Amino acid sequence: MLRENRYKKKTLLGQEGNSLLMLLAVLAILFCIFKFLFLVYKMSDWAEVEYYDHILNWFRLPANIETFLHRPWTLITYMFVHDDVLGLIGNVLWLWAFGFILQDLTGNGKLVPLYIYGGLVGAAIFIITANLMPALAPVKNQFFFEGASASLMAIAIGTTVMAPGYRIFPMINGGIPLWVLTIIYVALAFSRGINIQSTPILLAHLGAAGIGYLFIQQLKRGSDWSEWMNEAWDWATNLFNPDRRNWKKTAKDDLYYNSKGTQPFKKIPNITQKRIDEILDKINQQGYRYLTEEEKEILKRAAEDEDL
């Protein structure tokens, strides 16, 4: 298993290698690109409907299974595409809230895999349901699923299952339990009501919630469903790396040789490479907040090149 290339004390926006920041940036950048293309179509002689037929619908998930078979990439792309600015803002805010907590609880390697798992399960249920409902047959060709809502539902439920007692806004009477925030989010997600066209989307959200629950339950039992995705990503990003020796940077590289001390090659008593690696693995699997005070102190002093 490839180790993380960096030690991360906190999961903060702006931090290098932050999966949450990466997701937020991807959603925002893609929205701007599609809106720019929309404006190009609107200011030209092309009709607005052509923008959807020629551009957006090639990235949204179609309900028509025949259309989907000609555009299989929409199984992934749909979960990053938003056409409505209010929908984007809402998803971004909820993603920031739940994603920040999930990374604090589990480390930096679980957010994106859970996002993708939720989106894939939601997509499968959406397509199956839409094609099993005869009432949707007349509108199936113009029925599409888009946005991060299914993925976000998986993250919200997974985060809550991980630590339902986690408290936010601690300044307010000791804090608000995370499950309260989750109930508000779920209520808003299902507030559109149940009708013919909303049923496949609502069921997709339920399926995504289920995969979020299973993902965290398996993680608690020691089965990490994100491991293969993270290893595939590490392999792909390093495939064309000319300096293949940096594929497996160790704690010695990040915490010792790059330390702030005046004598960077000075040995620190009682700190072994094995001990540092064990602590970094614990951060990757469980999150920084699960470190003991002793483990935090070891990493702090190793990073600053101080004597224990």
Same domain for 206 and 268?
no
- What are the phi and psi torsion angles at 144 (to 5°)? -130, 155
Same domain for 186 and 260?
no
Q: For the stretch 166-182, what's the b/e string if a residue is b when 16 or more beta carbons lie within 10 angstroms of its beta carbon?
A: beeeeeeeeeebbeebb
**Any residues with CB less than 8 A from the CB of 284 and at least 6 apart, and which?**
3, 4, 107, 108, 109
Same domain for 226 and 254?
no
Is 241 among the domain residues? no
Q: If you average pLDDT over residues 144-153, what whole number do you get? A: 95
Q: If you average pLDDT over residues 50-55, what whole number do you get? A: 89
Residue 208's nearest CA partner among 123, 108, 81 is: 123
- Helix (H/G/I), strand (E/B), else coil: 18: coil
pLDDT band, residue 59 (cuts 50/70/90): very high
Same domain for 274 and 223?
no
Q: Considering just the CA atoms, what is the radius of gyration of the chain in Å?
A: 22
Residue 270 near residue 308 (C-beta atoms within 8 A): yes
**Any residues with CB less than 8 A from the CB of 73 and at least 6 apart, and which?**
59
Res 160: pLDDT:
95
- Residue 117, Cβ neighbours under 10 Å: how many? 22
Q: Which carries the bigger pLDDT value, residue 30 or residue 139?
A: 30
Place of tokens 């960077």: 264
pLDDT in tens, 221-246: 989 999 999 888 888 877 776 655 45
Q: If you average pLDDT over residues 58-81, what whole number do you get? A: 95
Is 196 among the domain residues? yes
Same domain for 47 and 182?
yes
Is 178 among the domain residues? yes
Residue 100 near residue 156 (C-beta atoms within 8 A): no
Distances (CA, A) of 256 to 16, 32, 252, 274: 19, 42, 5, 14
| ∠ CA 49-23-7, rounded to 5° | 170
Place of tokens 């989307």: 201
Tokens of 38: 């929309």
Q: Which domain holds residue 159?
A: 19-230
Res 55: pLDDT:
92
| ∠ CA 200-85-59, rounded to 5° | 55
Is 171 among the domain residues? yes
Q: Which of 197, 230, 263 delimits the end of a domain?
A: 230
CATH number assigned to the domain comprising residue 102: 1.20.1540.10
CA gap 294, 308 in Å, rounded: 11
Same domain for 35 and 184?
yes
CA gap 292, 279 in Å, rounded: 10
Q: What are the residues facing 176 on neighbouring strands?
A: 168
Q: If you average pLDDT over residues 273-293, what whole number do you get? A: 71
Same domain for 66 and 193?
yes
Is 239 among the domain residues? no
CA gap 281, 288 in Å, rounded: 10
pTM of the entire predicted model: 0.75
Q: Is the pLDDT of residue 77 over 90?
A: yes
Same domain for 264 and 204?
no
Is 192 among the domain residues? yes
Residue 34 near residue 80 (C-beta atoms within 8 A): no
Same domain for 145 and 288?
no
Res 112: pLDDT:
95
Same domain for 262 and 210?
no
Most confident of 40-44, 119-123, 233-237: 119-123
Residue 205's nearest CA partner among 135, 129, 125 is: 125
- Helix (H/G/I), strand (E/B), else coil: 62: strand
Q: What are the residues facing 177 on neighbouring strands?
A: 167
Number of domains in the chain: 2
Is 36 among the domain residues? yes
Of 42-51, 53-62, 263-272, the poorest mean pLDDT is in: 263-272
Same domain for 149 and 287?
no
Res 212: pLDDT:
96
Residue 109's nearest CA partner among 280, 296, 307, 260 is: 280
Q: Is the pLDDT of residue 67 over 50?
A: yes
Res 5: pLDDT:
38
Same domain for 217 and 290?
no
Place of tokens 């991060």: 148
Res 142: pLDDT:
87
Res 241: pLDDT:
65
Is 10 among the domain residues? no
Distances (CA, A) of 133 to 30, 62, 75, 138: 32, 15, 20, 11
DSSP class of residue 148 equals S
Percent of the chain whose pLDDT exceeds 90: 47
Res 284: pLDDT:
64
Task: Output the average pLDDT for the chain.
Answer: 81
